[in-house]
Chain A
Amino acid sequence: MSTDTYTPVEDTGFGKKAAGPVGWLDDRLGLAGVAKKNLRKVFPEHWSFMLGEIALWSFVVLLLTGVFLTFWFQPSMSEVVYDGSYAPFRGLEMSQAYASTLHISFDIRGGLLMRQIHHWAAALFVGAMLAHMLRIFFTGAYRKPREINWLIGVGLLALGMVEGFAGYSLPDDLLSGTGLRFVDGLIRSIPLVGSYLEFFIFGGEFPGEEIIPRLYMAHILLIPALLLGLIAAHMLLLVYHKHTQWPGAGRTNDNVVGYPMLPVYAAKAGGFFFVVFGFTALMGALVQINPVWAYGPYNPSEVTAGSQPDWYMGFSEGLVRIMPNWESTFLGHTWSWNVFIPGVGGLGLLFTVLALWPFVERWVTGDQREHHLLERPRNAPTRTGLGVAGMTFYGVGWAAGGNDIIATQFHLSINALTHIFRIGIFLFPVIAFIITRRICIGLQRADQNKILHGYETGVIERSPDGSYAERHAPLPVTEQYRLTAHDRLPALEAPAETDENGVALPHGRVAKVRHRVRSFYYKGAIDKPTLAEVEHADEHLAEIEGHPVHLGEDFQGVSETGIPKSH
């Protein structure tokens, strides 16, 4: 790697040959201008920045394996008699979609592997998007100027779930047909227009002959095209805004510190594509997913106990399961609240809240600045608490989606479980919020203690009068800076209700509400120490009770056995 022996690429044999064609391209496209800005673009490093990458690469895996599957899959609901190599089904009537799925699984070499990789990658795609979104949420990375990219992300998540569901429905096996039946019931429950939507979408009465060809079109053309467009926009904005970074020594709101795209980041990200692909391929090789031949062709009069959707639909499924059986009749119409509210409203509420959050938070904090430094979750206790409350809400819904499995596995009453979930979906998020906010504040306090009193070295000293005390030592200055690099809390002044002449201000009421929400948002949060406090602490730490602390340059604390660690 020594640079002194390095030959510039334009002087190598390859470079001399390539310069022509590259020059040819640059004459027409002006590539150098774009490349100059971006080839050595700096990306910061942190493990959590990898989550979005998993989503991106699993999408690429989905495209590759999906193209393979389209070579044989036939999206048709016409009934055929099966004569393939899976003996138990020979002579059975089934749709062409199901028969061709069996064909891919049993007669095309590597077909089952590609199907399983495709399905695992789909589960990973949605999971990685969700994890990535939580990372963005808990670190405040959606704040100005990245709100639009957050909205694109919410759109990607929603589209990804629809895409997954469409794919899940295509094989036309008993499980996927049951899923479609559920969606049919869901569409029917839409007030006033439900029946019309049902007949238009299914091309007649359920199941009809149209739904699988239509879902196929959506699954391989419409939604992937939208996903691709949104992913492109997502990445372009990422490049334009430059990646956020964690605060630390030398890492400020005005710079970005990390490794250049070429070669380090390109290699790491490119290598990671192979890791994601390899991982999903091993999953496809070793862990069975969606064995459609075990379920049989779709038959509207059959179902298996323990029918479960793919994991990302579990939240909706759970809400539908725990909803009370409300249905009412007025205006001459039937209103199926029991299906409509959880089925359509559940995810609708989730995505609406997600989309609005950055704007709500900005209204509450009144913060108009650009933020490129990530915030540690503990330093935004209310946001973190709300996030965990949302996760709990989602988690309770998700667990409720498997209430039958939980009941049979743990020998519990399904009725009792359902009642617990009915209460829990409202109660548990509140408890989670209170506990999380408390934990955050506790962690803030711990940080403050580390700054003002140093860290615990683990060295116990006995004083001349016989008492024991643990020796504290100041943190390295880089660590001290990292713990104090966040914003100071704003002053919370109640807004004036009247102007200087005693006339009521026009927005007095809104300002009052905002002030109240704002006080709630910052309630209990611990501010970082002031300059004076730190200066006082420095003196205090330098000389404890007249005994100067000299731990030496290489003192790094002690191990559990009490032996000082060294380099």
Chain B
Amino acid sequence: MSDEIQSHDSSSTPVRTEPVQDPGLQPHQWRPTDVDPAQERRAERQISGMFTVAALLFVLFAVSYFAIDSDQTFLNWSASNFALGATLGGGLLLIGVGIIQWAKKLMGDHEMVEMRHPARSSAEDREAVMADINAGLQESGVGRRPLIRNSLFLSVGALAVPSVVLLRDLGPLPHGQDETVWKKGMRVVNDVSGLPIRPEEIEVGQLINAEPAVFFPAEGEEEAEVHGHELLAAKSKAAIIVVRMRPEDITPSEGRENWGIDGILCYSKICTHVGCPISLWEQQTHHLLCPCHQSTFDLADNGKVIFGPAHRPLPQLPLGVDSEGYIIAMSDFPEIVAPSYPELARDQKRLDGES
């Protein structure tokens, strides 16, 4: 052991300084299985019993695999899953416990002592390595040929260019974050049936989960205009809720007076915090609570945030009624829906300019 840096408390110090001296390793304690042949045989029987039962359980596993139908139940729970898991798990546990018992009860339990060595290498080894490194550096000429060295650094550094450029096609550049499929005249339809909604069908206090009509097949069509994964992307921005409150309870801000129909208002269903669909409706207080992070919005007060981590109010969709008496959107959302992103302020400014 090198003593130049390390200074271990060593029990071999001649002068006694520690309050209690190390009494040294204690004598070995014999186990019952070491001294009593009956105990030893008992342990042997126990352990081999465990292994045997484990083997039996694995056979039972195969039996249940073939014998139990997938729709059979046991205590309201898949019988197959229960039987397979219980036999497999039970067998594995028995093997494990058996091996550990073997080690604890029958294998030798004399403690052994091994000396430690400092983690560092010996001083000679360090010197030898430094000598090798120096020889290598000198023979390569790295120090003497800065032109080669630096241009190598340059070229390897420039390897970053293809590595980064190659990743460019991971995805398109950001686009469309400030628009949804809503546009003037698009019908508001029920999110399950796809049927358009008349204002008189909605009671005061009622909330309807709704979607734009393009998410459902038009009359006579097989497939909706928006479908497949495009539908999911469009839905994650265009989902809405329609609520009816007493008109006297609503306090629309300036310019929003005509966005509703007799107390029927429409808001984005996508939380402005991290985009959960928000739908816990407190009818009496007009509050809408997000189930993910509990941001709470006041729908009677322009979707204002009244609690929780969301910052922006819930965007409101201006409503109207078409010639057949169904509820329609009067425009796309004037405010940006879904979670905030770095360019949001810029995009919102542009939207404000357009309207």
Listed in ascending order, the chain A residues whose CB lies under 8 Å from chain B are 1, 40-42, 77-79, 85, 106-107, 109-110, 112-113, 116-117, 144-145, 178, 181-182, 184-186, 188-196, 198-210, 240-242, 249-250, 252-260, 263-264, 267-268, 270-286, 288, 298-307, 320-327, 329, 332-336, 338-339, 342, 368-370, 372, 403-404, 414-415, 418, 451, 477-478, 480-481, 483-485, 487, 528-531, 533-534
Contact = CB atoms under 8 A, between A and B. Distances in A.
A293 B325 CA distance: 40
B45 interface: no
A555 to B, nearest CB: 18
Contact of B8 (A254, A324, A329): A254
B65 A110 contact: yes
A252 B305 CA distance: 62
Contact of B293 (A207, A242, A321, A483): A321
Given A113-B85, A339-B274, A249 B339 contact: no
A194 B342 contact: yes
A94 to B, nearest CB: 11
Contacts of A303: 276-277, 279, 291-292
Nearest to B34: A1
B345 A329 contact: yes
A327 B345 CA distance: 11
Contacts of B170: 200-201, 203
Nearest to B99: A271
B142 interface: no
B24 A257 contact: no
Interface string B205-223: 0000101000000000000
A506 to B, nearest CB: 24
B24 A250 contact: yes
A189 B294 contact: no
A256 B8 contact: no
B273 A185 contact: yes
B233 A204 contact: yes
A481 B16 CA distance: 14
A193 B173 CA distance: 11
B351 interface: no
Interface size class on chain B is: 35 or more
Given A181-B276, A339-B273, A189 B84 contact: no
A367 to B, nearest CB: 11
Given A332-B345, A478-B23, 16 more contacts: A116-B85, A182-B276, A182-B292, A192-B342, A204-B233, A250-B24, A250-B113, A272-B100, A277-B89, A284-B81, A285-B82, A301-B277, A333-B342, A333-B345, A451-B19, A531-B18
Given A194-B342, A338-B311, A369-B6, A267 B116 contact: no
Contacts of B176: 205
A42 to B, nearest CB: 4
Contact of B171 (A186, A193, A202, A259): A202
Contacts of A329: 345
A566 B17 CA distance: 35
Contact of B113 (A241, A255, A414): A255
Contacts of B70: 85, 106-107, 109
B19 A250 contact: no
B7 A369 contact: yes
Contacts of B173: 196, 199
A418 B308 CA distance: 8
Contacts of A1: 40, 106-108
A404 B308 CA distance: 12
A83 to B, nearest CB: 16
A42 B84 contact: no
A191 B6 CA distance: 48
B97 interface: yes
Contacts of A182: 274-276, 292
Contact of A278 (B71, B90, B269, B294): B90
Nearest to B104: A268
B204 interface: no
Interface string B311-327: 11000000000000000
B153 interface: no
Interface in B130-184: 167, 170-177
17 contacts: A85-B70, A110-B65, A178-B292, A185-B274, A193-B342, A198-B174, A199-B171, A207-B229, A207-B233, A250-B113, A264-B107, A272-B96, A282-B85, A301-B209, A325-B310, A372-B116, A418-B307
A528 B292 contact: no
A250 B311 contact: no
Given A113-B88, A303-B292, A451 B20 contact: yes
B190 interface: no
Contacts of B308: 321, 325, 418
Interface in B1-30: 5-11, 16-26
Contact of A42 (B16, B113, B191): B113
B59 interface: no
A304 B277 CA distance: 9
A41 to B, nearest CB: 7
B325 to A, nearest CB: 25
B220 to A, nearest CB: 21
B118 interface: yes
A188 B111 CA distance: 58
Contacts of B11: 252
B341 A195 contact: yes
A451 B18 CA distance: 13
Contacts of A107: 70
Nearest to B227: A79
A370 B291 contact: no
A534 B84 contact: no
Contacts of A192: 342
Contacts of A203: 170-171
Contacts of B85: 113, 116-117, 281-282, 284-286
A515 B134 CA distance: 40
A2 B100 CA distance: 20
Given A204-B172, A369-B8, A195 B343 contact: yes
B112 A334 contact: no
A271 B114 contact: no
Contacts of B294: 321, 403-404, 414, 418
Contacts of B111: 257-259
Interface in B93-125: 93-100, 102-104, 106-109, 111-116, 118-120
B81 A477 contact: no
A193 B343 CA distance: 9
